[in-house]
């Protein structure tokens, strides 16, 4: 009971002080507060973001208490928070020259230099802050120091800093995650996995640690292990929607679309409608050939987030399958307007245009897609196929003229068809033999891409005997 009365009295005193202070500020007539009371007022002004008032209060307090460096420090901190960084640093450096070596001072300097993107100076003062810091605040300082090294792309130095922090505080999740991020940036996914495994050994019920371990496994395409780790995350926290979303993505990578759907739908149950989730649902339904349902999901996605290009691209592809070619073309073009450098959208547009017998436009779309990405085997094969059906001589000329195409095994598969169409049977057989030597698995897909060649006895026999 007495504690409640004391709290009420303290709150009333603070309110009275603030009222009196605001009156002084309004009239620019500061009289007097004792040291602790004015410091409390300044702290309140910081919390409420009233930095100009805080600067004025600190100046007046320093006039009253010139031997207390806290008010000069508070003025500099308020100036820093209000964007007067260079002026704040000058005051802070003056305080340091006077012999002050507090954690508060060094962190203020480090933060100000960091905002000015002077990472070298920020690193200097974060390091000094570590030397005088309290134990409970050291983890945050280690992270801030590491992030300055990250800003310089010095990820190995950041890792060394974080290792020291984890040695002092091995249960600190934030340190572990920052370490894993650094390894991720360096492509050291195995090291990131090791970080999370070691942390889980200490804290086995940390669902976020299991989640990040799963993400790391997914990055190196260890999908079964990723699913195993996501499952542990979900066992610990059944309402953690990101785990369901990512386990859905993992099942989709494994082409287990039914399982992926179950997890995406669980995301909707937990978090409600989400554009990204509905887009992923649409992709799964499309793969399962449930086209009407896929279109509904894609439409929900684009309604929720009209600027989501993937949803518009999905709508275009599905509408084309459903025989709505004109609508499909407009939708895929809308996706391209949003993301003109996405080669897969141009590829999809080319497919749709070709299906609609707009061959000239399709060839232009294929060409644009190739300009953006010349490493996609299916794109190269379909481009040369389309060209061959329109003008086989032009397809052959392109094959020899474009080195980026000529050097690919995919183009050799397509040229087997092109030469055969041109009645250059020996050339077709020779280029197929070259492909069988270099990439037999791709050679075996000949009939998948060019089913008309399955009527040719030579190709049937040669592919049947390819393993021999």
Q: Which of 55-69, 168-182, 273-287 has the highest mean pLDDT?
A: 273-287
Using only the alpha carbons of the chain, give its radius of gyration: 33
Q: Do 371 and 338 form a contact (C-beta atoms < 8 A)?
A: no
Could you please report the per-residue DSSP string of 22-72?
HHHHHHT------HHHHHHHHHHHHHTT-HHHHHHHHHHHHHH-TT-HHHH
Of 297, 228, 229, the closest CA to residue 261 belongs to: 297
Which range, 18-27, 67-76, 190-199, 363-372, is most confident?
Answer: 363-372
Quote the pLDDT of residue 79: 81
Give me the pLDDT at residue 382, please: 94
The tens digit of pLDDT for each residue in 79-96 reads: 888 788 888 888 889 888
Digit-coded pLDDT (tens) for 334-371: 999 999 999 999 999 999 999 999 999 999 999 999 99
Domain with CATH 1.25.40.10 in the chain: 273-373
Inter-residue contact 24 to 30 (CB < 8 Å): yes
- Is the distance from CB of 297 to CB of 324 less than 8 angstroms? no
pTM of the model: 0.76
- Domain 273-373 = CATH 3.90.1170.50: no
Distance CA 97, CA 186 (A): 39
Checking if the pLDDT of 9 tops 60, the result is no
């Amino acid at each position: 009971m007495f504690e409640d009365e004391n709290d009420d009295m303290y709150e009333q005193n603070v309110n009275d002080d603030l009222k009196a202070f605001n009156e002084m500020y309004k009239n620019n007539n500061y009289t007097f507060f004792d040291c602790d009371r004015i410091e409390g007022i300044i702290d309140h002004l910081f919390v409420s973001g009233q930095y100009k008032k805080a600067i004025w209060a600190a100046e007046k307090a320093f006039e009253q208490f010139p031997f207390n460096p806290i008010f000069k420090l508070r003025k500099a901190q308020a100036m820093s928070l209000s964007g007067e960084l260079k002026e704040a640093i000058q005051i802070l450096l003056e305080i340091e020259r006077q012999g002050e070596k507090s954690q508060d001072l060094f962190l203020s300097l480090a933060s100000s230099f960091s905002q000015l993107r002077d990472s070298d100076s920020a690193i200097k003062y974060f390091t000094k802050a570590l030397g005088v810091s309290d134990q409970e605040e050291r983890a945050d300082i280690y992270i801030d120091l590491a992030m300055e090294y990250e800003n310089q792309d010095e990820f190995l130095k950041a890792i060394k800093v974080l290792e020291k922090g984890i040695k002092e505080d091995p249960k600190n999740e934030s340190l572990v995650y920052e370490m894993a991020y650094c390894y991720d940036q360096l492509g050291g996914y195995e090291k990131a996995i090791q970080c999370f495994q070691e942390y889980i050994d200490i804290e086995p019920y940390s669902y976020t640690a299991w989640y990040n371990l799963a993400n790391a496994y997914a990055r190196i395409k260890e999908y079964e292990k990723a699913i195993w780790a996501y499952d542990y995350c979900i066992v610990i926290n059944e309402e953690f929607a990101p785990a369901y979303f990512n386990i859905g993505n993992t099942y989709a990578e494994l082409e287990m679309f039914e399982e992926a759907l179950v997890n995406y739908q669980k995301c909707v149950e937990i978090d409600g409608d989400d554009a990204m989730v509905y887009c992923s649902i649409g992709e799964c339904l499309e793969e399962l050939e449930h086209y009407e349902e896929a279109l509904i999901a894609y439409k929900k996605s684009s309604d929720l987030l009209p600027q989501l290009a993937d949803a518009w691209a999905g709508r275009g592809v599905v509408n084309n399958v459903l025989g709505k070619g004109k609508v499909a073309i407009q939708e895929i073009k809308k996706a391209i307007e949003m993301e003109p450098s996405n080669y897969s959208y141009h590829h999809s547009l080319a497919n749709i245009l070709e299906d609609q017998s707009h061959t000239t436009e399709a060839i232009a779309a294929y060409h644009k897609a190739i300009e953006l990405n010349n490493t996609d085997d299916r794109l190269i094969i379909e481009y040369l196929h389309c060209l061959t059906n329109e003008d086989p001589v032009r397809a052959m000329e392109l094959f020899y003229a474009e080195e980026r195409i000529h050097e690919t095994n995919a183009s050799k598969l397509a040229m087997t068809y092109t030469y055969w169409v041109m009645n250059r049977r020996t050339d077709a057989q020779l280029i197929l033999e070259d492909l069988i030597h270099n990439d037999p698995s791709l050679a075996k897909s000949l009939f998948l891409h060019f089913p008309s060649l399955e009527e040719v006895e030579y190709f049937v026999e040669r592919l049947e005997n390819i393993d021999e």
